[in-house]
A and B are shown apart, each in its own frame.
Chain A
Amino acid sequence: MSKDAPAIVHIIDDDESLRTALGRLLGAVGLRTRTYSGAGDFLLNWHDDGAGCILLDVEMPGGPSGPELHQALTQRSDALPVVFLTGHGNIDMGVHAMKFGAVDFLTKPVQRDALLGAVEEAIARDRARRDAQVKDRDLQADYDSLSPRECEVFKQIIAGRLNKQIAYDLGTSERTIKAHRAHVMEKFHVHRFVDLIKIANRLHLE
């Protein structure tokens, strides 16, 4: 799926008429939409086929509520950002939803600009998450390509140790350490020491 393919908005609402109307509106601005009649329908039929977000009704009788589904989804690493829609929202509900990372909490009937703004932001968040995940994967691959010796040198460098200290510890020459260091930089595609520190942070190494 190319990065620039139209995002998909997953509309979850027990009210068919509202689902259809929201789908038409979002379709008219060039988004792709999928509709689901409830939390169960979504869980059974959703598969990750591109960047997007979830437009989620709060009250859905006869099944898990919107917030319940949202809470379950936050456990997943591939969770789509959620925009809530409610027929009669209250502050508690809104605060709770935002705490769990919802993008927005909108009240029906929703103004077009508010809806499109929230959906756009949710999609941007999802794209950013996907980009970051790709970067993390690439970085992890680079890290895995280090030899055991290079890995050891890398860890010592980012701990702030000098080449000659590392050489002494590993019982080798400073020249050898310099060569390892150059390989590490090369494998991570960076040129400066400070970039290695950033990479170590992203890899959660200390």
Chain B
Amino acid sequence: MVTLEEDERQAASARNQDTMRGLPPDIEDARGPHLALMHTHRLAVVGKLSASIAHEINQPLGAIMSNADAAKLLLAQSDPNLDEVRLILKDIITDCVRASEVVRQVRTLANKRQPELPEIDLQDLLRGILHLASPIAARRGVTILTDFGSQELRVYGDAVLLRQAILNLLLNAMDELDGVPQEAAIIELGANLSRAGEVEITVRDHGNGFPEPQLPQLFEAFFTTKSQGLGLGLTIVRSIVEYHNGRVTAENHPAGGALFRMSIPTAFPGGTSKPSEDQMI
């Protein structure tokens, strides 16, 4: 019990020093601070995003409004062009979907969720992810090469969130490889224990990489390099990794392509004793 609680508090204070400082440690139960912080952290992200969210929603709403106005005017004509009106209605529906997708994405950040941080082995998680990602990659003419080593990669993690984060990086990498000849369309997915007592997961594509000035912006909300992208994927990835007290970075690989590194502290830095099951709450 003690180990996990301490760990959680450390993570909590690192994430949210201002609100946590001075709070008596025994005021919340073991899971309490995490839930509150997780939610506060997400709400803070949403708060920072509010202007962008307003923009992303008002854009389709504006199109819906003007389309509807145009349709009204067209229908008032003596011989209305119904084909045009049908086209307008189709576009209105498309924009409704677009607006609701933004809302859905935002809700994944804003919603209260019951996160769980049991000890998990990322080897298992990564194999599960490949199960999902490999068929998608194959359909898109992309090969995923893996190098997970043979060690156990134990972290305290929410499998649902981590799966979402890693999948997001893989799907981005596949997008980067669009238009690259099949023999060169390769993603390298790696996982290893770093010297610093962290598990490092790397996703490297062999695409064109990013213009250097874009690298620091990649994790910003609504920053996107894709014509259809919402620009929230990497923001959510970062939010998830930070929730695990880790960090994620983007760089260009010297030999070409983009390289994302995701580091998460191991469950037992230094390989100290493993807690028994009843210590896991």
Select the residue from B55, B70, B91, B94 with max chain A CB neighbours within 10 A.
B70
**B95 contact set on A, CB distance < 8 A:** 17
Flag if A109 contacts B73 (CB, 8 Å): no
**B88 contact set on A, CB distance < 8 A:** 21, 24
**B51 contact set on A, CB distance < 8 A:** 88
Flag if B69 contacts A87 (CB, 8 Å): no
Select the residue from B56, B62, B95, B98 with max chain A CB neighbours within 10 A.
B62
**A87 contact set on B, CB distance < 8 A:** 54-56, 58-59, 62
Q: Does B63 contact A (CB under 8 A)?
A: yes
Residue in chain B with minimal CB distance to A27: B70
Flag if A109 contacts B65 (CB, 8 Å): yes
Q: Does B100 contact A (CB under 8 A)?
A: no
**B13 contact set on A, CB distance < 8 A:** none
Q: Does A145 contact B (CB under 8 A)?
A: no
In the bound assembly, the distance between CA atoms of A109 and B64 in angstroms comes to 8
For the side of the interface on A, what is the size category? 20 to 34
Interface of B is mostly: helix
**A28 contact set on B, CB distance < 8 A:** 69-70, 73-74
Complex interface bits, B47-63 against A, C-beta within 8 A gives 1, otherwise 0: 00001001110111111
Q: List 20 A-B contacts (CB under 8 A).
A: A17-B60, A17-B91, A17-B95, A20-B91, A21-B62, A21-B64, A21-B91, A25-B70, A27-B70, A28-B69, A28-B73, A29-B73, A59-B55, A85-B62, A87-B56, A87-B58, A87-B62, A88-B51, A88-B54, A88-B55
10 closest A-B pairs (Cβ-Cβ)? A108-B62, A87-B55, A24-B70, A28-B73, A21-B66, A109-B65, A109-B62, A21-B63, A25-B70, A88-B54
